């Protein structure tokens, strides 16, 4: 059985793993939710977001994420019977830099940076990620976004792109541990690409899948932690630190 210390590179999903996107999404959706009839509970709103986001990513894989979110907001307003408001749609699209980091993310990343190369593979655009990166307080060794690749996870092309770029740097497949919350977006395609994975199960105390689509039934992972801090603690225990 492999250990965390066997790997040299951690490739991260960002949103849902490092950034608390569900809190950010709900805060940015609140003006729309206040006008929706009937009123929606939090997870019902997140599940509607997941449906529309996933469908839009599949339909327009080259659309910049901030623009894609603008369209998702418009579609949600239509579904919920709310009068359309283009300026509100655009504010939602621009909200990613406002989404908060999980409280443990900056310190955990600071620790992990001392032991691994850190890489981002994210379903956003470069400008949106730059805003989030300021909240995380660490310099990543590489950042690959949907804008760079021209498709959105779980498209296998995103993992092929990342692995190709890392191979150019002399990094072998077996040296990489893909670290993510979403079984749908990340673990299923990462395992198909031959990667080992660590599930950061941020929703371990909640039912359902929230802002991500349900995963395929064959989704698996190699490690599971309730938080990034728990992953750090496991690494420290392994290493005797």
Q: Report DSSP letters for 143-181, one per residue.
A: EEEHHHHTS-TTSHHHHHHHHHHHHHTT--GGGEEEEES
Q: Could you give the strand order of the β-sheet that contains 117-122, starting from the edge strand earlier in sequence?
A: 142-145, 117-122, 9-12, 176-180, 196-200, 223-225
The neighbouring-strand residues paired with 223 are 198
Contact 110, 232 (CB under 8 A): no
Contact 87, 178 (CB under 8 A): no
Q: Which two tokens mark 219?
A: 């989704």
- Cα distances from 121 to residues 87, 142, 144, 174, 183, in angstroms, run 30, 9, 5, 17, 14
What is the DSSP code (8-state) at residue 15?
Answer: B
The neighbouring-strand residues paired with 101 are 19
Which residues are annotated as catalytic?
Answer: 13
Q: Report DSSP letters for 185-220, one per residue.
A: IIIHHHHHTT-EEEEE-TTTTSSS-TTSPPPPTT--
Q: Which two tokens mark 120?
A: 């981002």
Contact 19, 101 (CB under 8 A): yes
Element (H, E) at 77: helix 65-79
């Amino acid at each position: 059985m492999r250990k965390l210390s066997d790997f040299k590179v951690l490739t991260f999903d960002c949103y849902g793993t490092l950034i608390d996107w569900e809190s950010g999404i709900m805060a940015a959706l609140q003006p729309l939710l206040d006008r929706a009839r009937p009123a929606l509970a939090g997870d019902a709103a997140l599940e509607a977001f997941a449906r529309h986001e996933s469908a839009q990513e599949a339909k327009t894989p080259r659309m910049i994420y901030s623009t894609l979110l603008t369209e998702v907001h418009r579609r949600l307003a239509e579904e919920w019977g709310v009068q359309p408001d283009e300026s509100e749609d655009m504010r939602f699209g621009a909200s990613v830099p406002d989404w908060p980091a999980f409280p443990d993310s900056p310190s955990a990343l600071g620790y992990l940076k001392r032991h691994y190369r850190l890489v981002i593979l994210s379903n956003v655009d470069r400008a949106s990620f730059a805003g989030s990166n300021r909240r995380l307080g660490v310099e990543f060794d590489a950042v690959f976004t949907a804008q760079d690749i021209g498709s959105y996870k779980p498209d296998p092309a995103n993992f092929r792109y990342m692995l190709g770029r890392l191979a150019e740097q002399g990094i072998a497949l077996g040296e990489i541990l893909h670290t993510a919350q979403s079984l749908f977006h990340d673990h299923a395609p990462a395992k198909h690409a031959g990667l080992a994975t660590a599930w950061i199960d941020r929703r371990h105390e909640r039912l359902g899948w929230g802002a991500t689509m349900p995963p395929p039934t064959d989704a698996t992972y190699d490690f599971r932690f309730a938080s990034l801090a728990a992953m750090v603690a496991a690494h420290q225990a392994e290493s005797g630190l």
